């Protein structure tokens, strides 16, 4: 009886692990703060795959608007480095905090961006 229970548990764990790997997609949660450390809602956040696209503000992978907690979440991403542009009014992150590390696959990666004048 114990062998069946252990075998069933191992099979269930293997199925659950396989399901989780297929369900979890690579994503990036960007939190935007101002130079005083306050969260910035309604900021525009764009992701770019190349430095050239970032510098020219062309061909964004995606653009999101931050929620009331200053967060923008990008899903179904590749496990690569991204360049981030964050803007609200006359504040932006140009010159600081523009690039992510290579995203970890099948995880929600997180980064905080500071915008200032």
Which CATH number covers residue 82? 2.60.40.1120
Measured CA to CA in angstroms, residue 73 lies from 7, 27, 28, 91 at distances of 39, 7, 6, 20
Per-residue pLDDT at 96: 77
Q: Which one, of 27, 67, 26, lies nearest residue 44 by Cα?
A: 67
Residue 18 lies in a domain: no
DSSP state of 21: H
pLDDT band at residue 95 using 50, 70 and 90 as cut-offs: confident
Report the 10 Å Cβ neighbour count for 115: 24
Residue 87 lies in a domain: yes
Is the pLDDT at 75 greater than 90? The verdict is yes
Residue 8 lies in a domain: no
Residue 5 lies in a domain: no
Is the pLDDT at 6 greater than 50? The verdict is no
**What is the number of structural domains in the chain?**
1
Q: Which is higher by pLDDT, 5 or 58?
A: 58
List the strands of the sheet with 108-115, edge to edge: 71-74, 27-34, 108-115
pTM of the model: 0.79
Residue 38 lies in a domain: yes
Range of the domain at 98: 25-115
Is the pLDDT at 4 greater than 80? The verdict is no
Residue 49 lies in a domain: yes
């Amino acid at each position: 009886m114990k062998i069946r229970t252990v075998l069933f548990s191992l099979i269930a764990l293997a199925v659950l692990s396989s399901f989780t790997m297929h369900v979890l997609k690579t994503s990036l949660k960007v939190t935007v703060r101002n130079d005083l450390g306050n969260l910035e809602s309604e900021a525009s956040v764009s992701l770019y795959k190349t430095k050239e696209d970032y510098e020219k503000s062309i061909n964004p992978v995606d653009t999101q608007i931050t929620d009331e907690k200053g967060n923008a979440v990008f899903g179904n991403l590749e496990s690569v480095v991204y360049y981030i542009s964050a803007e609200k009014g006359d504040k932006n992150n140009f010159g600081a905090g523009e690039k992510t590390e290579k995203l970890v696959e099948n995880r929600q990666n997180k980064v905080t961006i500071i915008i200032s004048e």
